[in-house]
């Protein structure tokens, strides 16, 4: 409803389309997502304060994510390829239009289109979210006229299309996870996702007396993140459970490898993924701006023998320390996802 039912392309609203409890398409635990529905007949201005998220990215898309008919990316900009436009802690002032514009400009296609804004955080304690972001039609007057019956019917159809399409898409993606080799994570394609990201998918099976160890060379990426998901293709409760890690949070062993333990109970190691009571779950990873990397390897071990399969100097985390880590996660996620909308 937020994305389509009340959509007005002549007077768009930049919507934070996911929150702590509202998500779809397996969002990254490190990310915040905004969307606005636009039209190529209009010109718009996007403004706000950039903040300091590790990765900040804008893309424009032809068509609508409601049904993906003719859906294709038109333009992609991120803070590495366009630092003068999207550098840390600067003011955003970008024109979006079908024809070129002086200054910072992003192309729009003809007809219905969208803009997506993604922010990926590495340091959950210090990186600041973008604030006061808004999009306005250049030359538009306010207040906008009430939606006509025809406009409302069109928005209702978009909402219906979105529900139908997403249901089928979710099912296909969950099956994709479950069909991977259980001993590794597979590199997969998401044509409508962030094109500079490399996506990896897999799944785990873990009994109460077991632990699953994910082992991989630390990616030489500007950003990487890994997390667990449920069978509804939703991120686990990363805001109050230890179910995700990124390149700032994860401990790297002396041999350059990252070893993450999946288990039902806290094993007392830094790199732990809480199963949230699920014997079967999904694993997702994102590598941004990463050269070739070997896929992670998974193996099941008995929980009582876990320490025999980890380096001797693996850092220990006490229950009290874990509580502090989870409380910090909760505060950070609320600041990013609940502070402005």
Distances (CA, A) of 341 to 15, 16, 17, 53, 157: 8, 7, 10, 18, 26
d(CA 289, CA 196): 6
Q: Which of 142-151, 217-226, 288-297 holds the top average pLDDT?
A: 217-226
- Map 130-158 to HEC letters: CEEEEEEECCCCCCCCCCCHHHHHHHHHH
Per-residue pLDDT averaged across 197-220, rounded?
A: 96
Reply yes or no on whether the pLDDT at 341 is more than 50. no
Mean pLDDT of 2-9: 84
Q: How is residue 241 annotated by DSSP?
A: S
Q: How confident is the model at residue 153 (pLDDT cuts 50, 70, 90)?
A: very high
Q: What percent of the chain has pLDDT over 70?
A: 97
pLDDT greater at residue 69 or residue 224: 224
Predicted local confidence at residue 70, as pLDDT: 85
Average pLDDT (149-159) is 90
pTM equals: 0.93
The pLDDT, as a whole number, for residue 195 is 66
Task: Look at residue 175 and tell me whether its pLDDT is greater than 60.
Answer: yes
Q: How far apart are CA 299 and CA 182, in angstroms?
A: 9
Q: Residues 216, 309: contact at Cβ < 8 Å?
A: no
């Amino acid at each position: 409803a937020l994305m389509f039912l009340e959509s007005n392309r002549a007077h768009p609203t930049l919507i934070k389309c996911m929150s702590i409890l509202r998500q779809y398409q397996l969002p990254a635990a490190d990310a915040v997502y905004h969307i606005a529905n636009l039209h190529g007949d209009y010109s718009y201005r996007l403004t706000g304060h950039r903040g300091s998220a590790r990765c900040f990215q804008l893309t424009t898309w032809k068509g609508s994510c409601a049904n993906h008919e003719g859906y294709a990316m038109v333009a992609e900009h991120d803070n590495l390829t366009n630092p003068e436009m999207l550098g840390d802690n600067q003011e955003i002032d970008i024109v979006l239009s079908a024809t070129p514009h002086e200054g910072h400009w992003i192309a729009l296609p003809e007809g219905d289109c969208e803009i997506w804004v993604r922010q990926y955080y590495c340091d959950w304690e210090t990186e600041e979210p973008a604030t006061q972001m808004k999009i306005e039609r250049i030359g538009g007057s306010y207040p906008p006229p009430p939606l006509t019956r025809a406009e409302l019917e069109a928005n209702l159809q978009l909402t219906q299309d979105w529900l139908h399409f997403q249901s089928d898409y979710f099912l296909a993606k969950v099956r994709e996870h479950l069909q991977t080799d259980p001993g590794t994570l597979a590199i997969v394609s998401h044509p409508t996702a962030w094109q500079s990201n490399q996506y990896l998918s897999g799944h785990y099976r873990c009994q109460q007396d077991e632990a699953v160890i994910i082992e991989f060379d630390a990616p030489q990426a500007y950003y990487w993140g890994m997390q667990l998901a449920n069978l509804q293709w939703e991120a686990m409760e990363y805001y109050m459970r230890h179910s995700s890690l990124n390149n700032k949070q994860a401990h790297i062993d002396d041999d350059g490898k990252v070893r993450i333990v999946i288990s039902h109970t806290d094993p007392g190691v830094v790199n732990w993924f809480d199963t949230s009571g699920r014997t079967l779950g999904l694993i997702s990873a994102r590598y941004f701006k990463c050269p070739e990397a070997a896929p992670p390897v998974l193996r099941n071990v008995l929980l009582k023998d876990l320490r025999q399969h980890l380096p001797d100097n693996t850092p220990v985390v006490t229950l009290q320390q874990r509580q502090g880590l989870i409380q910090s996660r909760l505060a950070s996620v609320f600041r990013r996802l609940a502070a402005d909308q």
